[in-house]
Amino acid sequence: MSDYHVLNLGPGVQSTALYLLAREGRVRFDWAIFADTGEEPAAVYRHLEHLRTLGGPPILVRSAGRLGDDLVHGRNSTGQRFVSIPAFTRAPDGRIGMVRRQCTAEYKVEVVNRAIRRELLGLKPRQRIPRDVTVYQYFGISIDEAGRAARAQKRFAEVKHTVPVYPLIELGWSRTDCVGYLRQKLPYEVPKSSCVFCPYRTNLSWLHLKQTDPEGWRRAVEIDEALRADGTIATRGFRQQLYLHRTCQPLAGIDWTALVPTTLDPMTTGECLGRCGT
Ligand code: SF4
C-alpha cells in the first residue's frame, strides 16, 4: 500500500497558508506542485522563491508552456494546436457571453496530474496507477468557498486512486483566517495568483494591474489585441471577436474612471474552478 500526499499550490492566500501549516507540522503532505502558465505577475514568482527558502515540503514548478504564446501562435510547428481562455464575446444581438476555456485543464490540472504520475509515481505515459496506490491531493479551499469544494469533489468522484483533501475546511478556516495567519508568517502580503490577462478580473483588479505592474499590464494588452488580430490561432473558429474585458472593449482604450467598480471577485467565488489562484 502506498500513499502520496500532494498539495496543489495555487499559490494564492489559501494554498500558501496550507503550505506554511505543513511546514509547522499542522497539515501533512510531502510535495507541493505549482502548475506554471508562465503568465503570473512577477510578485507571484518572487513569492514562490521565498516559499522555497523556508524549508517546507519540496515545491515542484511544472509547466505545459507559456499560455499566452500558445494562445496566439499555437504550440506545434504546424500551428494546429488551439487552446482557449475564458474570453468574452458579443453576439450579433448584443448579448455578451464567455468562451469555454481549456486553459485550466491543460495548463493547471493536467500539469499537476502529469507531475504526480511521471515524477512521483514513476509511471510511463498511459500506464495505469497500481491498485495499491492512493494519491491524496490537497487543495487550499476555505470554508467560505464550500461551493468550490463541492465542484472539486464532484470532479474527483470518478477519478480512481485519487482522494481530494481540504484541510482548511477541516480546520474551519475562512479566507480571512488565512490572511490573519499569513500576516504573522510572511513579511509581505501574498500576491494574487492568476494569469495577468485572465478575464476573471474585476475592474478594480484591472486598474490595480495597470497601476502597479507595467509589465503585466503590457502583456495583458498584448494578448487582448492578439485575440482580435487576423491570422492568430486564437481567432480561428470564432465568428465574433474576443476580448479580455467583460464589456467587450479593447483593454487599452478603457476609461476606468467611467466604469462602476465591480465588487464580485470571481477568483474567490469559484468561477476559476479551483486550481487557478487558490
Ligand atoms: S488564471 Fe485564467 S487564463 Fe490563467 S489558466 Fe486560470 S482561467 Fe485560464
**What CATH number is given to the structural domain containing 108?**
3.40.50
Query: Cα of 122 to ligand 1 centre, how many Å?
Result: 28
Q: What is the amino acid identity at position 36?
A: D
DSSP β-bridge partners for residue 207: none
Print the domain residue range for 71: 2-268
Query: Cα of 67 to ligand 1 centre, how many Å?
Result: 9
Q: Give the atom of ligand 1 at the shortest distance from the alpha carbon of 194.
A: 1
Domain-embedded: residue 273:
no
Domain-embedded: residue 65:
yes
Query: Cα of 131 to ligand 1 centre, how many Å?
Result: 33
| Separation between Cα atoms, residue 275 and residue 142, nearest integer Å | 13
Domains of the chain: total: 1
At 66 the pLDDT is 93
Q: In which band, very low, low, confident or very high, does the pLDDT at 257 lie, cut at 50, 70 and 90? A: confident
CA geometry: angle at 31 spanning 29 and 32, to 5°? 105
At 77 the pLDDT is 41
3-class secondary structure, 240:
coil
Q: Give the atom of ligand 1 at the shortest distance from the alpha carbon of 276.
A: 6
Nearest to 254 by CA among 265, 262, 246, 263: 246
Q: In which band, very low, low, confident or very high, does the pLDDT at 25 lie, cut at 50, 70 and 90? A: very high
Task: Give whole-number Cα distances, 181 to 17, 19, 20, 21, 274, in Å.
Answer: 7, 12, 9, 10, 21
Residue with CA nearest ligand 1 atom 8:
103
- CA 242 to chain centroid, in Å, comes to 21
Residue with CA nearest ligand 1 atom 6:
276
Domain-embedded: residue 278:
no
Q: What lines the ligand 1 site, CB under 6 Å?
A: 37, 85-86, 101, 103-104, 107-108, 194-195, 198, 200, 272, 276
| Separation between Cα atoms, residue 273 and residue 271, nearest integer Å | 5
Nearest to 242 by CA among 252, 227, 232: 227
Place of cell 481549456: 102
Q: What is the mean pLDDT of residues 239-268?
A: 77
Domain-embedded: residue 109:
yes
Domain-embedded: residue 197:
yes
Say whether pLDDT at 251 is over 90.
Answer: yes
Q: Which of 31-40, 150-159, 174-183, 220-229 has the lowest mean pLDDT?
A: 150-159
At 229 the pLDDT is 86
Query: Cα of 178 to ligand 1 centre, how many Å?
Result: 23
Torsion 167-170-176-177 (CA) sign: negative
At 154 the pLDDT is 82
At 51 the pLDDT is 97
Domain-embedded: residue 276:
no
Q: What is the mean pLDDT of residues 11-22?
A: 96
More confident call, 121 vs 78: 121
Domain-embedded: residue 208:
yes
Domain-embedded: residue 149:
yes
